[in-house]
Amino acid sequence: MKWIYHKKKALTKEQCEKYILSFEDENKQKIKGPDPLKLNSHFYDRISLNVDKCSFESVLSESLKEYTKLHPFLMKYDRWDYDKIANFQRYQPGQSYSEEHCEFFNHTEAYKRILVWMFYLNDIKDGGGTRFPQQDFTTKVECGDLYIWPAHFTHTHYGLPAKNELKYIITGWCSFI
């Protein structure tokens, strides 16, 4: 996929396991995502992370540089960077963000988004990927893999439920400053 960047094993299995353990740590404040009965689209538990304090920050920065080299037009815009806050999300078996959407919309700061990034933190055997209908592409959920793609309507997407497994991701955005 030309505009969907995939870096296999961007994070080590050990890094991913540490993140998952930290999520499960009862001392972490957990924020429940939207009520699935209200939106009928998704459900997850979420922790907000400060990207600058995460061990994946250097991998993300280097991968964004690689993405920019693949798409040099982005270099015309020097006033963008990754957002400092990211979402660490856990989906129970059968749960997903199933509503087709893009990450650019007229809400708070989302109208400034230009790219989306996502790390998968565990392997999923059955389902669990991210579906990009316009590209006719579905990601495979593999521990440590990173995906980067445009935030706009050209890359609408939705999550597929993992039928029997928990699914862990860390996801965030790049926005104009």
Average pLDDT, the chain: 89
**102 pLDDT higher than 60:** yes
Any idea what DSSP says for residue 71?
S
**Structure tokens given for 42:** 């998704």
Distance of CA 13 to the CA centre of its chain: 17
Contact 122, 19 (CB under 8 A): no
- 86 falls in which pLDDT band (50, 70, 90)? very high
Angle at 147 between CA 145 and CA 150, to 5 degrees: 175
Distance of alpha carbon 92 from alpha carbon 61, whole angstroms: 30
Instruction: Return the pLDDT at 96.
Output: 93
Round to whole Å and give the CA distance between 121 and 144: 5
Domains in the chain and their CATH numbers?
A: 5-176 (2.60.120.620)
The DSSP letter of residue 162 is B
Give yes or no for residue 82 having a pLDDT over 60: yes
The 3-state DSSP class for residue 29 equals coil
pLDDT at res. 40: 36
pLDDT mean over 24-33: 53
Read off the pLDDT band of 1 (50, 70, 90).
low
Mean pLDDT for 103-126 is 91
Mean pLDDT in residue range 33-42 = 42
